[in-house]
A and B are shown apart, each in its own frame.
Chain A
Amino acid sequence: MFARRALFLLRLVRAARPLKRTDDVPRRVKNEATIVLGQRKLFQRLVPGLMHALIFWGFLVLFPTILMAGIGAIDRDWSFPWLGSQGWYMAMVDIFILAVLTGIVVAVWIRKIVRPRRFDGSHLGEADLILFMIALVVLTLLGWHASRIAAGLNEWPAHWSFLSNAVSHLVGSGASVRERIFVWAHVVVILTFLCYLPYSKHLHIATAAINVFFSRTRRRGRLEPLRFDLPEAELRFGAGTIRDLTWKEMVDSFSCTECGRCQDVCPAYATGKSLSPKLVIMGIRDQVFAEGPNLLAGGELSPIAGNGVPEDMIWDCVTCGACVHECPVSIEHIDHIVDLRRDLVMMHSSFPTEAESMLRDVERVGNPWGKPQGDRESWAEGLGVRVVAEGEPAPEILYWVGCAAAYDERARVAAESTVKLLQKAGVDFAILGARESCTGDPARRMGNEYVFQAYAEQNVATLNETGVTKIVASCPHCLNSLGNEYPDFGGQYEVMHHTQLLAELLREGKLEPVKSETEITYHDSCYLARHNDVAAEPRELVAAVGKPVEMEKRGKNTFCCGAGGAHMWMEERGSPINEERVRQAAETGAETLAVACPFCTVMLDDGVRTSGKQLRVVDVSTLLLEGVSDT
């Protein structure tokens, strides 16, 4: 039964869409060692992590006993070569039997007493059954070893097995009959479990290690590009039905254990939206299992959007990546959601109506607000910034301004500050002016891959023609596209965020700010801290000008401002994410809320205004400029 089911799952994965995930093997091996063997991501939560690690490590150690019991059930006197007679191993077996039992007790305590909200929507009965079966596996093993000692059948020194030895005194008469009963019970329990396994969420013990191995290694903020140059039969416009899923997406869905960590950290879920990343993956898995036979037979398939995954969920996502960061089995939820959006936008033109003008304006005018391209450099008037015209030599550093800083009054303050600081420090830099356009990021996150790729190609052409090698971006979303996604379109640049460059200048002593007593709390942008590992540099800057105080959700665990995934241009359903984040910031008692992203600036400033909190929302660069100007 196990083999039949396993074959079915394997055929599904083989029928899925191709995806290249075989590069960078050393790092994949390292992930396997830390995330699987070391349980790194599980330990992001200490108690549940320890619980799982005890059971997981326990079963690694106990694995040989399954073989021992399997053959031992048929031939009572058979002994596993060498290992079966090692006292130290049997001592470890007893230690890890205890470890697993402790793990199970903790798990029951978590599930029955603590009852965290992250389990909402998971199959709770199934989890109880699985825990019960795990307990049976180790208890029958203990019984078998104990009765083996009682019957004098142990081929290892009994005193090593402190637990089994102690229990053996309880076995009493008829030990050799009981030995047979226990070994068969043990084997039957394991075989039953094996058959049940691939039909349950416990399948992760087979697929999680595979899933972790093939997860993203570098450039975490990069989306897989769609290829429009393929022959008709291989073309794929996101995920309409389960036939369009990539094999990684399929293995993702098999690997989900419904632990709900993703749901727990999701800013959309936390503010009452319909989205739960867990339910998205579970919905896709259920649909894959239900329609799998149909897929293999080449039959009709129903759309995923509206069936396995409700459409609301697809649009609620801010692509902040908290779920991906949290998932212990390395499921990549954003890929699923963006693929579903791609199908809705490109094949069915179905998306929240209010986002239409953003998509149209990005496509037609090259910025999401429909402002004239000619006004793009007007923010820099009077600042003495060099604009690289066509044919002119590239500067050492190209300052990529981004649409928000170019057109939004609140966002441009950061660009002005950055420019003044770079001038003060004597950096050779210039901007592209009207030759810069939207990177295509909002269109891509909305699912309009066509428009994104057109912009990627256009911008890469401009940058390459100009001979740009080093870019400083003011917007983390631009940074992500330029640095992580443009390499797919022939653009290889060293891309850094303005906070990174400013921190460098600070370290070199080219900027010397005065430190004030102002308490500043820094809000990490998702696309900076989580997707691109930039968290230390902005903090260096904050520490140089004031007294840093931290929020609970920070760094890679940051909480979105609400604008990501093109949500800057959509209406929010449910309670506002930005107000929630402002509430968290105000709790620190800080007077200043420092940011490093133009969208965070606008969203959080709005949040401060609507919630009436006393906080000044300001970009780190502006704080630094104020610190420097005081001298």
Chain B
Amino acid sequence: MSVLVFLESADDELSSQALTLARSLGDVRAVTVEGPYAPAGWAAAIVEAAGGDDIVGPGSDRGNEVLAHVAAQLDLPFAANVSEVRGDELTRIRWGGTLLEEAKLHSDRRLVTAAPFAFAPASGGEEVTVLSPFPGNGVEVVDHVAPDTGGKVSLADAKVVVSGGRGVGSAEGFAILEELAALLDAAVGCSRVVTSAGWRPHSDQVGQTGTKVSPDLYIACGISGATQHIAGCKGAKALLAINADREATIFAHADYAVIGDLHEIVPAITAELRKVKGS
């Protein structure tokens, strides 16, 4: 049996795992698509290249979307997030890994995506054929426009986020956070209390109902650490918490903690940084 595997790119990690799955199913031909992203257009190119072969893709957002279009165009069943394939029976990972589902594909051709990290990455590259997307097919990405951040680092992309909560005390209180952020090339964020009080716009809010951030360093100043807020900053690689209340729940999530008044500590950090940078 022969299998066509769709790779997002030759060195993409999830695609390499998909390749492992594909090899276990039969003789592999690998393809990738180059050109503006257009899920239906890419799918059409893959459908043509596949002939009658099985089709495997990576369990990434793009892989799942393109394969879904392939399935729609072929009018065939498609199983996403597969961790094992045995003939037309397969195991799928569902509910965020809490559930393994045994399923059967009612089709002669198998259309599957590999669950992320369910397979070891393939060793040794395959020769990859580059396809061009079929134009005029469904939605096509024309351009990406980043929102105007007024020359500042955007919250979602920032490597460092300096964030303030109720402890900051007022809209003016954010001046010391802005100062520190400028030094660190960081974005300024805030908790929900701050936006509710009207000290900062909602676009600055980090949390469940605001922006989700995943910087290298998240500095939480005067933030108590409600679950709703942690949901927005749990992706941070390191969390530094500054809070006067030693009972604050933010400390349970913090990698580094300073117990004390942020109005003294933040300017002190700024001053120290200036010294270091100045020397």
Interface residues of A (CB under 8 A from B): 354-355, 357-358, 363-366, 369-371, 373, 404, 407-411, 434, 437, 454, 458, 568-571, 576, 602, 606, 609-610
B186 CB to nearest A CB, Å = 23
Q: In the complex the two chains form, is B196's CB within 8 Å of A576's CB? A: yes
The CA of A568 and the CA of B209, in the complex, are separated in Å by 9
Q: In the complex the two chains form, is A602's CB within 8 Å of B208's CB? A: no
The CA of A620 and the CA of B230, in the complex, are separated in Å by 26
Q: Rank and list the top 9 A-B pairs by shortest CB-CB distance, nearest first.
A: A365-B96, A354-B209, A409-B249, A364-B96, A408-B227, A369-B231, A571-B209, A373-B98, A366-B98
Asked if B23 CB lies within 8 Å of chain A CBs, one says no
Q: In the complex the two chains form, is B212's CB within 8 Å of A458's CB? A: no
A363: chain B residues at CB < 8 Å are: 95
28 interchain pairs, CB-CB under 8 A: A354-B209, A354-B210, A357-B208, A358-B208, A365-B96, A365-B98, A366-B96, A366-B98, A369-B228, A369-B231, A370-B231, A373-B97, A404-B227, A408-B226, A409-B227, A409-B249, A410-B226, A437-B95, A454-B95, A458-B95, A569-B208, A569-B209, A570-B209, A571-B202, A576-B196, A609-B224, A610-B166, A610-B196
B97: chain A residues at CB < 8 Å are: 365, 373
Closest chain B residue to A576 by CB distance? B196
B103: chain A residues at CB < 8 Å are: none
B224: chain A residues at CB < 8 Å are: 609
Q: Which of A357, A410, A437 contacts B231 (CB 8 A)?
A: A357
The CA of A161 and the CA of B180, in the complex, are separated in Å by 90
Interface hits, B9-48 → A, CB 8 Å:
none
Asked if B146 CB lies within 8 Å of chain A CBs, one says no
B139 CB to nearest A CB, Å = 15
Q: In the complex the two chains form, is B227's CB within 8 Å of A602's CB? A: yes
Asked if B225 CB lies within 8 Å of chain A CBs, one says yes
Known: A366-B96, A437-B95, A569-B208. A409 touches B197 (CB 8 A): no
The CA of A458 and the CA of B228, in the complex, are separated in Å by 26
B99: chain A residues at CB < 8 Å are: 458
B234: chain A residues at CB < 8 Å are: 370-371
B231: chain A residues at CB < 8 Å are: 357, 369-371
B124 CB to nearest A CB, Å = 33
Asked if B1 CB lies within 8 Å of chain A CBs, one says no
Closest chain B residue to A435 by CB distance? B98
**Residues 56-69 of chain B, each 1 if its beta carbon lies under 8 Å from chain A, else 0:** 00000000000000
If A357-B231, A371-B234, A602-B227 are given as contacts, then 13 extra A-B residue pairs at C-beta distance below 8 Å, sorted by A number, are A354-B209, A366-B95, A371-B231, A407-B227, A408-B227, A409-B227, A410-B249, A411-B227, A576-B196, A602-B226, A609-B224, A610-B193, A610-B196
Asked if B142 CB lies within 8 Å of chain A CBs, one says no
A568: chain B residues at CB < 8 Å are: 228
B207 CB to nearest A CB, Å = 9
Identify whether the interface residues of A are mostly helix, strand, loop, or mixed: helix
**Residues 212-242 of chain B, each 1 if its beta carbon lies under 8 Å from chain A, else 0:** 1000000000001111101100100000000
Asked if B141 CB lies within 8 Å of chain A CBs, one says no
The CA of A178 and the CA of B227, in the complex, are separated in Å by 79
Q: In the complex the two chains form, is A609's CB within 8 Å of B210's CB? A: no
Asked if B276 CB lies within 8 Å of chain A CBs, one says no
Asked if B252 CB lies within 8 Å of chain A CBs, one says yes
Closest chain B residue to A373 by CB distance? B98
The CA of A366 and the CA of B98, in the complex, are separated in Å by 8
The CA of A447 and the CA of B60, in the complex, are separated in Å by 27
B218 CB to nearest A CB, Å = 16
The CA of A571 and the CA of B232, in the complex, are separated in Å by 14
A567 CB to nearest B CB, Å = 10
Q: In the complex the two chains form, is B98's CB within 8 Å of A606's CB? A: no
The CA of A437 and the CA of B99, in the complex, are separated in Å by 11
A3 CB to nearest B CB, Å = 52
Q: In the complex the two chains form, is A609's CB within 8 Å of B249's CB? A: no
B208: chain A residues at CB < 8 Å are: 354, 357-358, 369, 569
Q: Which of A365, A370, A408 contacts B95 (CB 8 A)?
A: A365
Q: In the complex the two chains form, is B226's CB within 8 Å of A373's CB? A: no
A576: chain B residues at CB < 8 Å are: 196
B225: chain A residues at CB < 8 Å are: 409
Q: In the complex the two chains form, is B227's CB within 8 Å of A606's CB? A: no
B233 CB to nearest A CB, Å = 12
- A407, A409, A454, A609 — which one has the most chain B CB atoms within 10 A of its CB? A409
The CA of A187 and the CA of B97, in the complex, are separated in Å by 73
B210: chain A residues at CB < 8 Å are: 354
The CA of A520 and the CA of B25, in the complex, are separated in Å by 67
**Residues 72-98 of chain B, each 1 if its beta carbon lies under 8 Å from chain A, else 0:** 000000000000000000000001111
